[in-house]
Amino acid sequence: MSEKREVVIVGGGFAGLSAGVALADRGFRVTVLERKPALGGRAYSFQDTDTGDFIDNGQHVLMGCYTQTIDFLGRIGSRDKLWVHPNLEIQMLERGGRSGFLRTAAIPGPFHMSAALLRYRLLTPRERWRVVAGAMRMMRMRGRDPRMLEVTTVANLMERLGQGERERQCFWYPIALATLNDDPGIASAGLLAEVIKRAFFGRRRDSAFVYSRVGLSDLYCSAAVEFIEKRGGSVRCHQMVQTLELDTGAAVARLRMRDRSAVEADAYIVAVPAPHLLRMLPEALSRETYFARLAGLGVSPIICIHVWLDREVTDAAFAGFIGTATQWLFNKRRIFVQHGAHHGGYLSFVISGARALVDLPNDELLAIAMKDLRAMMPTAANAKIVKALVIKEKQATMAPDLESHRLRPPTATPIHNLFLAGDWIQTGLPATIESAVLSGYAAASAVAARAGVSRAA
Ligand SMILES: Cc1cc2nc3c(=O)[nH]c(=O)nc-3n(C[C@H](O)[C@H](O)[C@H](O)COP(=O)(O)OP(=O)(O)OC[C@H]3O[C@@H](n4cnc5c(N)ncnc54)[C@H](O)[C@@H]3O)c2cc1C
């Protein structure tokens, strides 16, 4: 390319920044526009003024099978900010002090996962075999009739696979809630099957948890900016895009900003959640079938309750809770390498698919989390709360319901110079960081293919 082609990307979350990095790498001049004062979108962190600790809006867990995300973090030089566990090892707790480990064996995948399930002490030997047989049948169904799984809820699939209450509560539903972020009676089994295939039927390391050792924003935002700027691009915050304006040939001519200024480029990637995109479309476009159907996509909430206690109550980095409203506990003192002024234990509780709880007042949610903690960990019986913070993300992710497969759009739009990215784009994955990065890379490849550029510059 003699003169660099200009691409404007709207949205500075994982999708927008990964698209920007991929295009800057291929020699495009990239401008990322983000409406907020800081980058990160739905995966961000900030420093707490009282404790000095870094707080993520919600604990984010990656898995070894997040190959695109790990590639992105590697490209921008952030891979060493991750804890990458070699194996899956999760302690699942139940009331009354019962616990079991989901721990993969040191044998090649996919046998590592069968071995983990067959040693999972919260289930009886018969229940363990039922889970293994159920997972294998699910994979056969995925191969033979993926469409059938897409229009079946997780709960209905469990029925068909003959999974009893214990198998559901101790294994399937914790995984489904954590990865799909919705009630098993709503979420699509097609997405669960994709997760199970990638996480448990691949290499041993694909099943392991991966998480950031630093606040989420520090993991990828400034490194992505540096990468893009070194290659002649720019990333600008406080830039609210109001409307996409079309020219007479039905291409995007410019972006109209909230301050009425205009931004022009050869191609545009819009990497914002669907409701934000719909607000940006001119009237004529919002009626087009491709765009009109996006209004049917639902959302699902996540609640994260951050609690500082006057003491440490566990050595574990994380644990799953079975049979309580709170589903996961993360011990930030064990996870983060950055610590503020030390206030005993800093714990984060996660409630995914939190439709039924999201409108409760914060003090009730805190009381629920503490009740659940004390039920699971007797060591917390006398611990006192020093500080607490409840973060409700009401639109945390797209609802992974049965309609979502039909409604999620591909990256290319009917407008030849407009492409979409975001975790909710049709990637075949639930709305996760991996889906966001996959969509960002796909949008970058589509822009590059249109411009006749295929390799890195
Ligand atoms: C509490 C919580 C916990 C989660 N846990 C996990 C997890 O454990 N594992 C996992 O993989 N995923 C998890 N997720 C999902 C993950 O955060 C998202 O999938 C991912 O961050 C989505 O990235 P994105 O770039 O697609 O969208 P976003 O992060 O939403 O980025 C879109 C950006 O566009 C900007 N924007 C919107 N409109 C405009 C406009 N008009 N002009 C300019 N900019 C605009 C927004 O401000 C935003 O910064 C979680 C999400 C939440 C909320």
Domain boundary among 186, 207, 228: 207
144, 272: one domain = no
Distance from Cα 281 to the centre of ligand 1, integer Å: 20
Three-state secondary structure string covering the chain: CCCCCEEEEECCCHHHHHHHHHHHHCCCEEEEECCCCCCCCCCCEEECCCCCCEEECCCCCEECCCHHHHHHHHHCCCHHHEEECCCCEEEEECHHHCEEEEECCCCCCCHHHHHHHHCCCCCCHHHHHHHHHHHHHHHHHHHHCHHHHHCCEHHHHHHHCCCCHHHHHHHHHHHHHHHHCCCCCCCEHHHHHHHHHHHHCCCHHHHCEEEECCCHHHHHHHHHHHHHHHCCCEEECCCCEEEEEECCCCCEEEEEECCCCEECCCEEEECCCHHHHHHHCCHHHHCCHHHHHHHHCCEEEEEEEEEEECCCCCCCCEEEECCCCCCEEEEHHHHCCCCCCCCCCEEEEEEECCCCCCCCCHHHHHHHHHHHHHHHCHHHCCCCEEEEEEEEEEEEEECCCCCHHHHCCCCECCCCCEEECCCCCCCCCCCCHHHHHHHHHHHHHHHHHHCCCCCCC
pLDDT number for residue 455 = 63
Domains identified in the chain, total number: 3
What is the CATH classification number for the domain harbouring 331?
Answer: 3.90.660.10
Atom of ligand 1 nearest to the CA of 239: 43
166, 18: one domain = no
Ligand 1 near 303 CB (within 6 A): no
Domain boundary among 144, 179, 207: 207
287, 414: one domain = yes
322, 417: one domain = no
Domain boundary among 398, 413, 433: 398
Residue of 42, 70, 220, 256 best suited for mutating to test ligand 1, as the one with most atoms within 8 Å of CB: 42
Q: What's the domain range around 442?
A: 6-44+214-297+405-450
290, 240: one domain = yes
The single-letter code of the amino acid at 113 is M
Question: Residue 456 domain-assigned?
Answer: no
Ligand 1 near 430 CB (within 6 A): no
Question: Residue 66 domain-assigned?
Answer: no
pLDDT number for residue 8 = 98
Question: Residue 54 domain-assigned?
Answer: no
Question: Residue 319 domain-assigned?
Answer: yes
Question: Residue 384 domain-assigned?
Answer: yes
Sign of CA dihedral 176, 181, 182, 187: negative
Integer Cα distance of 303 and 328 in angstroms: 11
Integer Cα distance of 105 and 89 in angstroms: 10
94, 201: one domain = yes
189, 102: one domain = yes
pLDDT number for residue 177 = 98
Question: Residue 63 domain-assigned?
Answer: no
Ligand 1 near 18 CB (within 6 A): no
Residue of 44, 258, 272, 437 best suited for mutating to test ligand 1, as the one with most atoms within 8 Å of CB: 272
Ligand 1 near 321 CB (within 6 A): no
195, 152: one domain = yes
* Whether the predicted model's global pTM rises above the 0.95 cut: yes
Question: Residue 70 domain-assigned?
Answer: no
What is the CATH classification number for the domain harbouring 282?
Answer: 3.50.50.60
- Would you give per-residue pLDDT tens digits along the chain (457 residues)? 446 799 999 999 999 999 999 999 999 999 999 999 999 999 999 999 988 899 999 999 999 999 999 999 999 999 999 999 888 899 999 998 899 999 988 888 888 999 999 999 999 999 999 999 999 999 999 999 999 999 999 999 999 999 999 999 999 999 999 999 999 999 999 999 999 999 999 998 899 999 999 999 999 999 999 999 999 999 999 999 999 999 987 899 999 999 999 999 999 999 999 999 999 999 888 899 999 999 999 999 999 999 999 999 999 999 999 999 999 999 998 888 766 666 678 999 999 999 999 999 999 999 999 999 999 999 999 999 999 999 999 999 999 999 999 999 999 999 999 999 999 999 999 999 999 999 999 999 999 999 988 665 4
User: Any idea of the CA torsion for 224, 230, 233, 237, to the nearest 10 degrees?
Assistant: 50
320, 370: one domain = yes
Sign of CA dihedral 393, 395, 400, 405: negative
pLDDT number for residue 1 = 43
290, 420: one domain = yes
183, 235: one domain = no
Ligand 1 near 241 CB (within 6 A): yes
Question: Residue 30 domain-assigned?
Answer: yes
198, 239: one domain = no
